A and B are shown apart, each in its own frame.
Chain A
Amino acid sequence: MAKQTLGDWIKPHPTGIYVEPGDFWIDPSEAQGMAVVTHGHADHARSGHSHVMATPETLAIMETRYGEYPKATPMAHGEIARIGEVDVGFVPAGHVLGSAQVVMEYRGERIVASGDYKRRADPTCAPFEVVPCDVFITEATFGLPVFRHPDTAGEVQKALDALHANPERCVLIGAYALGKAQRVIRHLRDLGHHEPIYIHGAQEKLCNLYQDLGVDLGELRLATGRKKDELQGTIIICPPGALNDRWSRRLPDPITAMASGWMRIRQRARQRNVELPLILSDHADWDELTQTIEDIGPKEVWVTHGREDALLHWCMTRQIKARALNMVGREDEDD
């Protein structure tokens, strides 16, 4: 019998991870028979699969975005299901509401596909759990040591400071519709901002869903159609793409802010015409990525996407075997 290599039952493709002995895909970017989905972001959750397995929250998010799937199997954190010959379970990834790492056991090997994750506290979702494993499949969106996200509350406070210093203007925050927008709103509430927060129409459904799933966001109002004077001195949240488009021209002299890990780099912020960069991401920063690998202590690290070169180099200097999977279409430009 030929010697088996660690994890050779998992086949990485540019379009997703195929798990052969279970005949299912993790986060496939093309329609597949069976898809196990880590979380609801569009680069991980797609429409068109015949059968989807995800956490109940992620399924709710996917249905809000894409409508119903022919077959959907909810599986809560901690449950274990057998798919083909593979035992599959979810543990929290701390990325957005419902986000999960996929823990797989087969042939005595344990492999964890973490999807996207972060380590710091997020009031809108369950925190990341460390699961010791043989192979840890990680992202590397912010895989360079220049990416160190500062304290979240401090960044959100900048928006409040700008608001108080400019009562005749409004603070327009560009934030990803799933996860980031709700996290920013929740932090604003925790910092004592209890006035109504205005949101862009494209964010209404997901904010409502978060509220239904028990994340209290306080009073939200649609920004569209409001008079300028009503919006003076308010905070408005919109998708990053709406920051500089016609929609924002009707607002009262907005202070353009954006909540994203990319805001750490000046040119990224300037490129988006951002006046007030808020460094705030749902992805792990450099210290979180390396800390996580140290905490888990895997035999091998596989990197799905991002700045993988630097993370591979870091693993090499610590004698951890590592390889790049070169997944395509997974770059979060706005997160």
Chain B
Amino acid sequence: MRAFADLLERLVYTRSRNAKIKLIADYLIGTPDPDRGWALAALTGELDFRTVKAGLIKSLTEERVDPVLFKMSRSYVGDMAETVSLLWEPRPGAEPAPQDLRLSSVVDRLMALSRAEAPLQMSAYLDAMVPTERFALIKLATGALRIGVSARLAKTALAQAFALDLDAVEEVWHGIDAPYTALFAWGEGTAPQPSHEDIPVFRPFMLAHPLEDARVDLSQYAAEWKWDGVRVQLNHVNGETKLFSRTGDDVTASFPDVADAFQIHGVIDGELLVKGDAQGTADQGGEAASFNALQQRLGRKTVSKKMLTEAPAFVRAYDILFDGAEDLRALPWEERRRRLEAFVPRLPAERFDVSAIVEADDFDHLAKIREGARSAAIEGLMLKRRDSAYIAGRKVGQWYKWKRDPLTADCVIMYAQRGSGRRSSYFSDYTFGCWTEAGELVPVGKAYSGITDEELRFLDKFVRGNTTGRFGPVREVEKTLVLEVAFDSVHSSKRHKSGIAMRFPRIHRIRNDKPAAEADRVRTLEAMID
């Protein structure tokens, strides 16, 4: 428990992404099973103890500490777990926890705990522990670490610790439960890579590079629309269907209409869209609403009937990874495309279609077509090398995305502040940042416009639920949410730590589907300075 508490403590004070990865990696190497597996589960947000809620910790504390002083302390400190860890008054004569109290023994105990036993056990732990351990215990037990470590970062650390391929880790991750002993055994070379032939596990996505100023030869590259939805993977095997987002999150529960309609053994990659007000014409493959319509469906654990009828979802397929048990990923794109075109018609037509190929005489012609696409559902074009295999991640020269203007960048929201006037009760002013080459997030701009009321409510809720710090009116938030920011131009600026300033930045849209680590780099913005 002490080692896990120390890890959390050091992560809190570490800013650079690389340094965080190293801290976690060192911990995973130096800690025995099953402790390290439970720590990894805690860091990736996979632990859920139902019997310990924040309310229990609060009432236990009020039994020990004057409730008025507790309340004042809490409003000063901000974080409940931290407040309790600091002001908890141990019962006189309480024995300190043994130095070698193991994380796994705490986890085992918390899992077996009944609601009736919880108060006594939690106070016994709090009595016995030092403040850093109390902090770790409360964070662990109430299920929200919020220490600026994403699941992706923790998995990256795991891959780095044992020199594993990150995509391979992602691929096996979803079939293994905590404490992941099979995963560590694989990492340490004492067991083969775990395989999942009969469960629908996440298969890492193939991603595209921005085209920037390059040109491609259309005899080597095919073009298709880049739809403004959410990239998803559908996976059906053995009677079970799963829907995964780009980050590998299981979003099946948010889109039961689509998942239920996908009942053929195989894995496809496509864009999840919501049927709406007729943007996109027939030759572009059907009707899709703008991203805002989809926004209402995202992030919901359960979906109402009303929503299912008012905003029905469908998937526009881009690619096929598995046809039955056959792994197609090594085949050239053209071959997979033929297989996709044969596969999709077997699915219900009201839920699935294939993203059309955009035919053009040459590159200039294609540029004109791109300029002419005014549908809100179209984000730009994708250019795919005709012989490209489906390779996890971004491989140079294979796939390009060619977005429409204006300039946009994917930034991570860092701070928020209340707005003024009509929006004064909402956190509506956002400071966002991009990554430096050293892996540190630095602010690149601030915006308070461009969002719909729906998005405002979403962001406000995000800020309130993910606050990691308060400085006067400013909230610091978990660095996990990506905002696509549109702006007119970029200038160099000595006043900002990032060295750049954006002109007229506005929030273009919220990218819940994008991991923070994949937000743009400051260097990318520097390249836009004119």
User: Which residues of A approach B to under 8 Å, CB–CB?
Assistant: 144-148, 264-267, 269-271, 273-277, 307, 309-310, 313-314, 317
- The distance in angstroms between the C-alpha atoms of A68 and B246, with both chains bound, is 69
> B468 to chain A: closest CB distance in Å?
7
List the B side residues contacting A145 at CB < 8 Å: 65, 69-70, 73, 86-87
A309/B72 contact (C-beta < 8 A), A146-B83, A146-B87, A269-B13 known: yes
> Does the CB pair A273–B15 fall under 8 Å?
yes
3 smallest A-B Cβ distances: which pairs? A267-B469, A146-B86, A145-B87
> Does the CB pair B15–A144 fall under 8 Å?
no
List the A side residues contacting B79 at CB < 8 Å: 266-267
Within 47-91 of B, Cβ neighbours of A (below 8 Å) are at 65-66, 68-70, 72-73, 76-79, 82-83, 86-87
* B220 CB–A CB distance under 8 Å: no
> A239 to chain B: closest CB distance in Å?
21
> B266 to chain A: closest CB distance in Å?
47
- The distance in angstroms between the C-alpha atoms of A271 and B73, with both chains bound, is 19
- B12's partner among A148, A270, A310, A313 (CB-CB below 8 A) is A270
A144/B76 contact (C-beta < 8 A), A266-B12, A275-B14, A277-B13 known: yes
A270/B69 contact (C-beta < 8 A), A146-B77, A275-B13 known: no
- The distance in angstroms between the C-alpha atoms of A115 and B16, with both chains bound, is 41
- The distance in angstroms between the C-alpha atoms of A293 and B69, with both chains bound, is 17
Q: Quick one: closest A residue to B78, CB to CB?
A: A267
- The distance in angstroms between the C-alpha atoms of A148 and B65, with both chains bound, is 14
> Does the CB pair A267–B476 fall under 8 Å?
yes
* B209 CB–A CB distance under 8 Å: no
Beyond the given pairs A145-B70, A148-B87, A313-B66, 6 more chain A to chain B contacts, judged by CB atoms under 8 angstroms and listed by A's residue number, are: A144-B76, A146-B87, A148-B86, A265-B77, A265-B86, A267-B476
Interface centre among A145, A146, A148, A275 (most CB of B within 10 A): A146
> Does the CB pair B66–A317 fall under 8 Å?
yes
List the A side residues contacting B70 at CB < 8 Å: 145
Q: Quick one: closest B residue to A309, CB to CB?
A: B72
Interface Cβ pair total, 8 Å cutoff: 65
- The distance in angstroms between the C-alpha atoms of A269 and B82, with both chains bound, is 13
List the A side residues contacting B77 at CB < 8 Å: 146, 265, 267
- B13's partner among A144, A147, A270, A317 (CB-CB below 8 A) is A270
* B470 CB–A CB distance under 8 Å: yes
A-B contact pairs, 24 of them (CB 8 A): A144-B73, A145-B86, A145-B87, A146-B83, A146-B86, A147-B86, A264-B86, A265-B76, A265-B77, A266-B12, A266-B79, A267-B77, A267-B79, A267-B471, A270-B469, A271-B469, A275-B13, A277-B13, A307-B72, A307-B76, A310-B73, A313-B68, A313-B72, A314-B69
Within 461-497 of B, Cβ neighbours of A (below 8 Å) are at 468-471, 476
List the B side residues contacting A313 at CB < 8 Å: 66, 68-69, 72
List the A side residues contacting B68 at CB < 8 Å: 310, 313
- The distance in angstroms between the C-alpha atoms of A307 and B82, with both chains bound, is 18
- The distance in angstroms between the C-alpha atoms of A265 and B77, with both chains bound, is 7
Q: Quick one: closest A residue to B87, CB to CB?
A: A145
List the A side residues contacting B76 at CB < 8 Å: 144, 146, 265, 307
Interface centre among A145, A147, A273, A309 (most CB of B within 10 A): A145
List the A side residues contacting B471 at CB < 8 Å: 267, 271
Q: Quick one: closest B residue to A277, CB to CB?
A: B13
- The distance in angstroms between the C-alpha atoms of A71 and B72, with both chains bound, is 45
List the B side residues contacting A310 at CB < 8 Å: 68-69, 72-73
- The distance in angstroms between the C-alpha atoms of A277 and B14, with both chains bound, is 11
List the A side residues contacting B86 at CB < 8 Å: 145-148, 264-265
- The distance in angstroms between the C-alpha atoms of A147 and B78, with both chains bound, is 14
List the B side residues contacting A307 at CB < 8 Å: 72, 76
> B92 to chain A: closest CB distance in Å?
15
- The distance in angstroms between the C-alpha atoms of A267 and B469, with both chains bound, is 6
- The distance in angstroms between the C-alpha atoms of A276 and B6, with both chains bound, is 12
List the B side residues contacting A274 at CB < 8 Å: 13
List the A side residues contacting B12 at CB < 8 Å: 266, 270
> B407 to chain A: closest CB distance in Å?
30
Interface centre among B65, B73, B83, B471 (most CB of A within 10 A): B73
- The distance in angstroms between the C-alpha atoms of A38 and B304, with both chains bound, is 68
- The distance in angstroms between the C-alpha atoms of A314 and B65, with both chains bound, is 11
List the B side residues contacting A265 at CB < 8 Å: 76-77, 82, 86
- B72's partner among A144, A273, A276, A317 (CB-CB below 8 A) is A144
- The distance in angstroms between the C-alpha atoms of A79 and B72, with both chains bound, is 41
- B470's partner among A264, A267, A276, A277 (CB-CB below 8 A) is A267
List the A side residues contacting B87 at CB < 8 Å: 144-146, 148
> CB-CB contacts of B141-184 with A at 8 A, as 1s and 0s?
00000000000000000000000000000000000000000000
> Does the CB pair B13–A276 fall under 8 Å?
yes
> CB-CB contacts of B1-24 with A at 8 A, as 1s and 0s?
000000000001111000000000
Within 209-262 of B, Cβ neighbours of A (below 8 Å) are at none
- The distance in angstroms between the C-alpha atoms of A317 and B13, with both chains bound, is 37
